């Protein structure tokens, strides 16, 4: 949407805002004075949602393997410390502490144990 602003020099001009834009710094086309404007219709909610979607789309960019010939991808989620999420196919995601070993197929368990002896040993009493 477009809003008319006025510079100290008296010059009127239009500012075009997107809903997720919070602040704009513009120069007056007439006197070159630099001004900072806040979007009066800024929607915090929209901003947050938009970024949450980006986050989801970036999930596959956060995947890494502990060893290059492993089959398991781990999610590199530094923001959620202590959460260990992994996937075999980049479609189904397991949470280590919740799903291991109950929700893994026996084939997946075998692969997991081979690639992650530390965790296999850590959860040995769950079997
Ligand atoms: Zn001006």
**Structure confidence by residue, pLDDT tens digits, 37-49:** 888 877 665 555 5
Indicate whether 71 and 110 sit together in one domain.
yes
Judge whether 30 lies within some domain: yes
Give the structural domain span for 114. 55-126
Q: Quickly count: other Cβ atoms within 10 Å of residue 2's Cβ.
A: 7
pTM of the entire structure? 0.53
Q: Distance from the CA of 12 to the center of ligand 1, in angstroms? A: 8
| Same domain as 74, residue 23 | no
Q: Is the peptide bond before 11 cis (omega within 30 degrees of 0)?
A: no
pLDDT, tens only, 75-85: 887 666 677 89
For residue 21, report the distance from its CA to the centre of ligand 1, in Å: 23
CA dihedral 50, 56, 58, 60 (to 10 degrees): -170
Considering its fold, how many domains does the chain have in total? 2
Q: What is the pLDDT of residues 21-66, one digit of tens each?
A: 888 899 998 999 999 888 887 766 555 555 555 555 566 667 889 9
Instruction: Answer yes or no: are the C-beta atoms of 5 and 17 closer than 8 Å.
Output: no
In angstroms, what is the span from residue 6 Cα to ligand 1's centroid? 8
**Residues 108 and 78 both lie in one domain:** yes
Mean pLDDT across the chain, nearest whole number?
Answer: 84
Ligand 1 center–CA 18 separation, angstroms = 23
Residue at 87 is within a domain = yes
């Amino acid at each position: 949407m477009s809003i008319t602003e006025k510079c100290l020099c008296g010059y009127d001009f239009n500012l075009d805002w997107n809903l997720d834009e919070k602040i704009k710094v513009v120069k007056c086309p007439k006197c070159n004075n630099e001004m900072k404007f806040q979007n009066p219709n800024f929607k915090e909610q929209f901003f947050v949602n938009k970024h949450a979607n980006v986050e989801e789309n970036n999930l596959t960019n956060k995947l890494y393997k502990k060893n290059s010939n492993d089959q398991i991808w781990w999610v590199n989620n530094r923001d959620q410390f202590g959460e260990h999420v992994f996937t075999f196919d980049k479609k189904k995601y397991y949470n280590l502490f919740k799903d291991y070993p109950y929700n893994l197929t026996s084939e997946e368990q075998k692969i997991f144990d081979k690639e992650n002896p530390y965790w296999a040993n850590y959860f040995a009493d769950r079997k």
